[in-house]
Amino acid sequence: MPLKIVIAGAAGRMGAALLRAASADARFAIVGAVERDGSILLGQDACGVAVTADLAAALTNADAFIDFTAPAATVAALPALARANVRTVIIGTTGFDAAQEAAIAAAAREHAIVKSGNFSLGVTLLSALVEDAARRLDPSWDIEIVELHHRRKVDAPSGTALLLGESAARGRNVSLSDVRAPARDAATP
């Protein structure tokens, strides 16, 4: 029996890619595609289901929830996931503040949550290497992460940059928030 999934952020690049990949794989059944109120995709077909803003309805038969939206939307979805008894949650959204991170941590007591700023194998390996390098290098070595994006990028620094920064901080046994000197932070919706 296939795993029944709901994808939130269906109109985004990752959401669309996930819909295509899941619809081509017999191990998965798409039972919901969620977008925000006002999206031009509401009501349109998304690999056999209509795109909806009604999260509760989309979750009715779900086994798992995959979220690539925005921090506020991710956190707002958590109570609906609990009510629908959806226990498997994958979060690819980035840019959470401390209160939002705390809400996700609290939800992790009830749900199996996998959360990452980047799910690629290469970045996962790079993250481990950065942590190891930070641990091995003398503290007199500075660590700097520089990335280049178009100026309208919503999540700056990117989830990947923050993931690498957290890895370096773990290697140095410090908190990233204590040592980070941001050059530019974009507002995350």
Angle, helices 98-107/71-83, rounded to nearest 10 degrees: 20
Question: What is the pLDDT confidence band of residue 103, given thresholds at 50, 70 and 90?
Answer: very high
Q: Which domains does the chain have, with CATH numbers?
A: 3-115 (3.40.50.720), 121-179 (3.30.360.10)
Least confident of 65-74, 123-132, 144-153: 144-153
Q: What is the pTM of this model?
A: 0.81
- Alpha helix (H) residue ranges in the chain: 13-23, 55-58, 71-83, 98-107, 121-136, 159-172, 176-179
- Higher model confidence: residue 91 or residue 162? 91
Residue 2: the pLDDT is 96
What distance in Å separates the CA atoms of residue 113 and residue 83, rounded to the nearest whole number?
Answer: 16
> Collapsing DSSP states into helix, strand and coil, what is residue 4?
strand
Res 178: pLDDT: 85
Report pLDDT digits (tens) over 66-102.
Answer: 999 999 999 999 999 999 999 999 999 888 888 999 9
**pLDDT greater than 70 at residue 128:** yes
**Phi–psi pair at 33, nearest 5 degrees:** -135, 115
Rounded-to-integer distance, Cα 86 and Cα 155, Å: 27
* H/E segment holding residue 89: strand 88-91
Residues 59 and 96 sit within 8 Å (Cβ to Cβ) = no
Residue 61 in this model has a pLDDT that exceeds 60: yes
Catalytic residue among 4, 111, 149, 150: 149
Q: Alpha-carbon distance 165 to 181, whole Å?
A: 11
What pLDDT was estimated at residue 20? 94
Average pLDDT over residues 149-163: 79
Distance CA 135, CA 153 (A): 31
Contact status, residue 27 vs residue 6, Cβ threshold 8 Å = no
- Is 153 considered catalytic here? yes
